[in-house]
Structure 1
């Protein structure tokens, strides 16, 4: 029954793969279980990956996702044949704002990284039928097979009802009636290679939507909203594709239909078991908030489990996984629910509002899905607030957020690499020019036992660009978490104030 694993990861999809790689990066032995006989090889599935997720994958050893993905730059939105609006991402750092790449290829890249990691074992044909746990560990039931480890991270997807049921976790929400037809095609569409196009009520899909994404290798992903009872035939699909691309030649690579769900688990942590990704939350895909939320779940869980297993933190830190990521899931549900009310209105009032917005060209009220952003832990118990640097709210579409406690650290090129590459091995203290980094390192090293590095801003980047991008003052100390979020910005900083901030970032308060 016993295994060598310190964490059993249930589910070998991208969220489970990411979690395993990040845990192994912390030196944790991982066993990954999946009920399937092996890896699927076709289908785009989740295609749009946001910059901060690309950063996580780079830290996990899967930087090829960003390298191979197609970095589209402009999002265009149409009402029938009239363009309503377009927007582009602000460029920051060496990674693109997002890339499109098929989930199938992403999984292959992650598999390559896992194969090179001796601390990870993957077992297929292991369907989890139940979970039990006690004070010393968890037991994963795979039929008659029992596997024991100190912790379990469940990344088993939307159909992981046996796992949720064993934990007493509900999965409340709703399923939308309308279906969506997805096709991956290969075609030559000049001018469309770097643009995402969203059509409200086009003449070739009246009353509903169509979304077109460019992908690597001259391929495109097309999503049609279709009626709940519509069964597409090969002839229908060919006709729909022709209505968009005309008489150009094309190759149909993959097709499927699906319905959207909006659901959230009542708990994302139950004792020694954490839930992540679609196992814990489901959202409509407009805005690409599914996998782009599941991967940060994996990162948040990985560093906290590693700290618990290494004796650097206790139960309080693990509970903040639920606090932080459940709040992130709730925010995504709120945003995508508003989008779905606009895309698929259910009441007379919602239909009238949508019609007025689209026909009147009220651009600021058009909702085709706010693109995925990292959740910022402004209200987390691990964040030390600073009144002089309040969170200023969500920036305009495509824009960058002003740094503040709880917000993710901006990324940028620094001598030797990227700024966030300095953050992944523990806590990082960045000091302004008036702070003595040697003194801070000596004092902090005597009282802090968790991995922690102290660097002066000028030491990291002597050009002054880093301090300017952060808006950092000479006497400030910036405490950065292992997941690159800003835990504290301390004005007039002394070592003892940094100790308090680290204590809070490990336990949720500075005096425990």
Structure 2
């Protein structure tokens, strides 16, 4: 494909989803132009703070590993009803990365900007508001006030305010807005014992009938979210009083505050021809469970490797339709989960309010919903996944626990002598073969099936102790096909070259 005049891909929006997409595209050798309507970076407030393990892994691959290094890895989540602790839970450890870290979006964007500045394939232009998108068989014309720009594809990561671009594409954005407001504050204070715990309060005496969420952040800072009445406009005195009700007479510094309402919306399409939608441009969810940015970055990764495979001639354009199939399903799941959470947090009917009170007062822990924490979406039903009846998806594991590997599930991030398992997955397709498989024959046959980067590695070769095969539950005659985003595309028992080749064709969208 001939290089277009301005870039191979234009990314609209320089927030963390757009930044991630640009870095991941450049990693595949794709020339990227990032456009943002703002005059420059807005560096105020914590905004999205809680980054999940699998998103940290994506950022490491993108060259922004400092996010994981600088983030605060909290370990315990406590939930209270009034002044009584209902329960607590901790994440199950997997590999070298923490289950999540807290770090302000401002710092995350700074680290991503540093990585972008070191990448010659990426150009960022501020003060470029995109007003329209026109497509033809050979590319996309991106209309700005200054001029029109040209690329083979466009990826819209323009946030929740991308209504004009969605309308240009004929995409609806149906859903709802919740009435209650939320007041958020960043404070700096010394709160011994709170440094590594997330605390959630239902109906505390200092916010009766509503909720409060407290998260620790790096540098002795804390993020506090209060649910407040729809018509309440907090003054400085109100904010000071609310903070004092939580921390007492300890000294503190108020760093930032804001109010907002939650939305629950989803785009009708996430791919329209040569234009893909990602992040808040495609879906909005309530933040309890941290499913916003933790879903937007996997959007960016999914779009990046598929666009790169098409642009590099390794796959046909039909592969891009799987972006919509996979990430729209992920958005729908997040909407269902967060909508159920909001019905519990902000009940709208008498029946919902009565049920919530009965659950909390009765200590019915299994029914308490303060937000199921973000987890990767598993492409069990994807057209790219080869199903295997002997390896069925066992469903979502208990809160904080790990998932049993199966086709469509993201592969465990096992520590190996040469690094982490997922570090070996990011450069193309990876075939993991058992001791009874002929790895050399696999490599010869698969080299005739695809020109995409592909490596065949024996499980024993990668880890001679056998712990990798044990953690995966991999048999000696099995082959595992892993996608560039670390999801398991196929687990093939009694594997032969033809069956592995069929799984590769399928993951390229050729079946």
**TM score, norm. by length of structure 2:** 0.99
Question: 195, 198, 202: which one pairs with 2:197?
Answer: 195
In the aligned structure 2, how far is the partner of 1:46 from the partner of 1:358?
A: 28
Q: In 1, are the aligned partners of 2:391 and 2:407 still within 8 Å (CA)?
A: yes
Which residue of structure 2 aligns with residue 324 of structure 1?
326
Q: 1:301: how far off?
A: 0.1
Which residue of structure 2 aligns with residue 164 of structure 1?
166
Q: In 2, are the aligned partners of 1:426 and 1:450 still within 8 Å (CA)?
A: yes
Matched, 1:215 2:217: yes
Deviations along 1:127-156, one digit per CA (max 9) or x if unpaired, are 011111100000111125100100000000
Which residue of structure 2 aligns with residue 225 of structure 1?
227
Which residue of structure 1 aligns with residue 57 of structure 2?
55
In the aligned structure 2, how far is the partner of 1:207 from the partner of 1:508?
A: 55
Query: Would the alpha carbon gap of residues 105 and 134 (structure 1) be closer, same or farther in structure 2, given more than 3 Å must change?
Result: same
Q: In 2, are the aligned partners of 1:208 and 1:226 still within 8 Å (CA)?
A: yes
Matched, 1:153 2:151: no
After superposition, residues 293-442 of structure 1 pair within 5 angstroms as 293-442=295-444
Question: 487, 503, 506: which one pairs with 1:504?
Answer: 506
In the aligned structure 1, how far is the partner of 2:449 from the partner of 2:43?
A: 51
Q: 1:264: how far off?
A: 0.3
Comparing 394-403 with 315-324, greater Cα deviation is found at 315-324
Q: In 1, are the aligned partners of 2:314 and 2:450 still within 8 Å (CA)?
A: no
SS in 1 for 2:130: coil
In the aligned structure 1, how far is the partner of 2:305 from the partner of 2:282?
A: 19
SS in 1 for 2:409: coil
Q: In 2, are the aligned partners of 1:151 and 1:272 still within 8 Å (CA)?
A: yes
Q: 1:503: how far off?
A: 0.4
In the aligned structure 1, how far is the partner of 2:273 from the partner of 2:372?
A: 34
Q: 1:313: how far off?
A: 1.1
For structure 1, the 5+ residue unaligned runs are: none
Question: 17, 30, 33: which one pairs with 1:31?
Answer: 33
SS in 2 for 1:202: coil
Q: In 2, are the aligned partners of 1:382 and 1:508 still within 8 Å (CA)?
A: no
Deviations along 1:261-281, one digit per CA (max 9) or x if unpaired, are 000000000000000000000
Deviations along 1:65-120, one digit per CA (max 9) or x if unpaired, are 00000000000000000000100000000100000000000000000000000000
Q: 1:315: how far off?
A: 2.4
Deviations along 1:393-439, one digit per CA (max 9) or x if unpaired, are 00000000000000000001111211000001110000011112122
SS in 1 for 2:188: strand
In the aligned structure 2, how far is the partner of 1:308 from the partner of 1:446?
A: 18
Query: Would the alpha carbon gap of residues 440 and 508 (structure 1) be closer, same or farther in structure 2, given more than 3 Å must change?
Result: closer
Matched, 1:136 2:150: no
SS in 2 for 1:6: strand
Q: 1:3: how far off?
A: 3.3
Query: Would the alpha carbon gap of residues 256 and 222 (structure 1) be closer, same or farther in structure 2, given more than 3 Å must change?
Result: same
Question: 113, 116, 121: which one pairs with 1:114?
Answer: 116
Deviations along 1:157-207, one digit per CA (max 9) or x if unpaired, are 000111101101010100000000000000000000000000000000000
Q: In 2, are the aligned partners of 1:128 and 1:162 still within 8 Å (CA)?
A: no
Moved over 3 A (4+): none
In the aligned structure 2, how far is the partner of 1:439 from the partner of 1:147?
A: 47
Which residue of structure 2 aligns with residue 126 of structure 1?
128
Deviations along 1:422-470, one digit per CA (max 9) or x if unpaired, are 0011100000111121221122223322111000001111111100000
Q: In 1, are the aligned partners of 2:6 and 2:149 still within 8 Å (CA)?
A: no
Question: 251, 269, 272: which one pairs with 2:271?
Answer: 269
In the aligned structure 2, how far is the partner of 1:133 from the partner of 1:31?
A: 17
Which residue of structure 1 aligns with residue 478 of structure 2?
476
Which residue of structure 1 aligns with residue 5 of structure 2?
3
In the aligned structure 2, how far is the partner of 1:280 from the partner of 1:505?
A: 24
Which residue of structure 1 aligns with residue 73 of structure 2?
71
**TM score, norm. by length of structure 1:** 0.99
SS in 2 for 1:150: strand
Across the aligned residues of Structure 1 and Structure 2, the Cα RMSD in angstroms comes to 0.9
Q: 1:508: how far off?
A: 5.8
Deviations along 1:47-70, one digit per CA (max 9) or x if unpaired, are 000000000000000000000000
In the aligned structure 1, how far is the partner of 2:212 from the partner of 2:510?
A: 45
Equivalenced residues, count = 509
Q: In 1, are the aligned partners of 2:310 and 2:317 still within 8 Å (CA)?
A: yes
